Amino acid sequence: MPMVARLLVAALVLSLAARATSAQSSRAADEAAAIAAADSLLAALSRDDKAGIARFTTDSAIVGYSAMRGGAERVRVHSWAEVIAQPSTVRIVERGFDATARVQDRLAHVWMPYDIYIDGKWSHCGIDAFTLLNVAGRWKTVALFYTVEQPPACNRHPSGPPTR
């Protein structure tokens, strides 16, 4: 193969590798941003920040759970608007960890183990499954569905109980 042809092939390979690296970097940034938005929603929930919850959810967002109670599965789904409208009667601290994300264009899914404390006492743990949509450059939750479990079916936060 002549030298010029080898140089052109090398340039093409480098160009394709640069594009692939750029796409991977962009995807990693989108995944990190989606996880940050999910974390921000949990932080707003833990602060009882109703305006913050609204900032990190779409107007028609839903939240639901699945829990086993007395051997029977209990499933409930309602709107985040209902959550925001309810007066707070307990102090919740919910912390996610070890999150993973999948992103395709404007849609993201974040899978995040969590633990939750109510009025300073251990309650439960499980998995938070967020579906997010990129709306005007910001990731917003359109749906959050979570499981309600106890160890060993789930893990507590690796940092131990919350300090606040």
pLDDT in tens, 119-147: 999 999 999 999 999 999 999 999 999 99
Q: What is the pTM of this model?
A: 0.83
Domain regions of the chain by residue span: 3-148
Residues 6+ apart with CB under 8 A from 126: 113, 114, 146, 147, 148, 149, 154
With contact defined as beta carbons under 8 Å apart, do 120 and 149 qualify? no
Cα dihedral sign, 39-96-162-54: positive
Digit-coded pLDDT (tens) for 57-84 = 999 999 999 998 888 999 999 999 998 8
pLDDT score for 16 = 47
> Average of pLDDT values for 137-162?
95
Arch. (CATH architecture) of 3-148? Roll (3.10)
Question: Confidence class of residue 15 from pLDDT cuts 50, 70 and 90?
Answer: low
Q: Burial-class residue 65 by CB neighbours within 10 Å (0-12, 13-18, 19+).
A: middle
Structure tokens at 162: 């919350």
Calculate Rg over the CA atoms of the chain.
21
